[in-house]
Amino acid sequence: MSEYDKAEGAAKVCVTGGAGFIGRHLSRVLVERGLHVIGIDDFSGADRRALMEFDGVPNYSFVEGDVRDPEIIRYALEDCRTVFHLAANPEVRVGEQDPVSHVTGNLDTTVAVLEAMRAEGVKEILFTSTSTVYGEADQIPTPEDFGPLLPVSIYGGAKLGAEALISSYCGTFDMRAALFRFANVVGPGSGHGVTVDFVRKLQADPKRLEILGDGRQTKSYVHVHDTVEGMITVFEGAMPEPGYATPYNIGSHDWIPVTEVADTVAEVMGVKPEYSFTGGARGGGGWKGDVPRMMLDVKKLLGLGWSPAYTSRDAIKDTARWLVGEEKATTET
Ligand SMILES: NC(=O)c1ccc[n+]([C@@H]2O[C@H](COP(=O)([O-])OP(=O)(O)OC[C@H]3O[C@@H](n4cnc5c(N)ncnc54)[C@H](O)[C@@H]3O)[C@@H](O)[C@H]2O)c1
């Protein structure tokens, strides 16, 4: 455990999952805002080296550990005004083989954070939920007040359960919460998802690309820059009153078929692969629990002055460029 060096006057916030993809981008922006950020991560889904960018940053500190360890999470939350709770098992696809990993990774982690908040008197939580809580919504773009919420993946079910518990802790213990329902988040640093899958497959064989599903899945992708800006917009000016939790969609203005994701990645890599399709699960999805059509209504966040800078295609392009560059960098060292 690293020692927290109390920065005089700087408000302290905790980022769980702080070594992860979105956690690092978020922490960087919070540090730039002059806040003291304490990250916590068990490195179950992140590489230790990714945190090197925070070496020597005076208003950043880090605790290595599992948020489900009550002593460690309470230590991290000591004197915090806010917790950004990102620590999770984000691998939607593993739900079919290992459903319980989503209960322990997404629900138990959230209960542990809420209990530590209660013990330490922390009253504000910003939670990274997901578009998958909407299930196979028949209203697209899907607004925050769409219902009933009937997820079709274990991941979505666990995240919806976590949202419900956060809301009930708010009502019971005068906490307040923002529940961010993200589209597919991509960008530099991304470690999972379709862009990563395609780049890895094309690096192994540039002539062929196996696409999960029937190729007609059409989804919205949001750049991590826009994602973090959306979170900060809410954090700085649109948190609800104590006692309440409010959902906010974060996505881009458009959606694209998975074949366009493949075309974009292939173009960036300068290859022309032949596509094959696995056929797919219900509705042409790539796996059981995959939602084949997803785009979020982001009017609520637009009303706060936020606006996504990237289209889905540009966000994928930026991610693929980074992944290709990163691969070169890794092989050179
Ligand atoms: N990336 C997306 O497309 C997307 C979409 C919707 C929601 N989200 C949510 O956003 C959050 C961040 O996602 P990400 O893409 O950065 O994933 P990520 O895997 O890069 O980050 C999650 C981090 O949490 C850490 N972690 C997991 N379990 C932990 C535990 N018990 N204790 C401490 N640390 C733990 C991991 O080591 C990892 O660094 C997650 O809650 C995810 O469910 C992501």
pLDDT band at 329 (very low <50, low <70, confident <90, very high): low
Kindly tell me the number of DSSP H helices and DSSP E strands found in the chain: 10, 14
Least confident of 66-75, 296-305, 318-327: 318-327
pLDDT band at 5 (very low <50, low <70, confident <90, very high): very low
Helix (H, G, I), strand (E, B) or coil at 332: helix
- Residue 185 has a pLDDT of 98
Residue type, 304: L
Q: What backbone torsions phi and psi does residue 177 show, to the nearest 5 degrees?
A: -145, 145
- Residue 328 has a pLDDT of 58
Nearest CA, atom 36, ligand 1: 45
Nearest CA, atom 1, ligand 1: 185
Distance in Å, CA 17 to ligand 1 centroid: 6
Write the pLDDT tens digit of every residue in 113-150.
999 999 999 999 999 999 999 999 999 999 999 999 99
- Residue 4 has a pLDDT of 35
pLDDT band at 7 (very low <50, low <70, confident <90, very high): very low
Positive or negative CA dihedral for 126, 132, 137, 139?
A: positive
Q: Is 181 exposed, middle or buried (0-12, 13-18, 19+ CB in 10 A)?
A: buried
Mean pLDDT of 161-185: 98
Given a cut of 60, whether residue 201 has pLDDT beyond it is: yes
Nearest Cα neighbor of 221 from 261, 189, 248 is: 261
- Residue 258 has a pLDDT of 96
DSSP 8-state secondary structure symbol assigned to residue 35:
P
The rounded distance, in Å, linking the Cα atoms of 132 and 136 is 8
Kindly list the distances between the CA atom of residue 201 and the CA atoms of 31, 120, 205, 207, 328, in Å, as whole numbers in the listed order. Answer: 36, 46, 6, 10, 15
Ligand 1 nearest-atom number relative to CA 85: 41
Distance in Å, CA 208 to ligand 1 centroid: 30
Residue environment code for 257-285, b if the CB has 16+ CB neighbours within 10 A, otherwise e = ebbebbbbbbebbeeebeeebeebbeebb
Distance in Å, CA 127 to ligand 1 centroid: 11
pLDDT band at 281 (very low <50, low <70, confident <90, very high): confident
Q: What angle do CA 117, 144, 215 make, to 5 degrees?
A: 110
Domains of the chain plus CATH, in order, are 12-185+222-250 (3.40.50.720), 188-220+253-292+310-326 (3.90.25.10)
The rounded distance, in Å, linking the Cα atoms of 330 and 333 is 5
> Which residue matches tokens 């916030």?
13
- Residue 287 has a pLDDT of 81
Helix (H, G, I), strand (E, B) or coil at 290: coil
Q: For a ligand 1 pocket test, name from 40, 128, 223, 252 the mutation site with the most ligand atoms within 8 angstroms of its C-beta.
A: 128
> What length is written for the chain?
333
- Whether 221 and 312 have beta carbons less than 8 Å apart is answered as yes
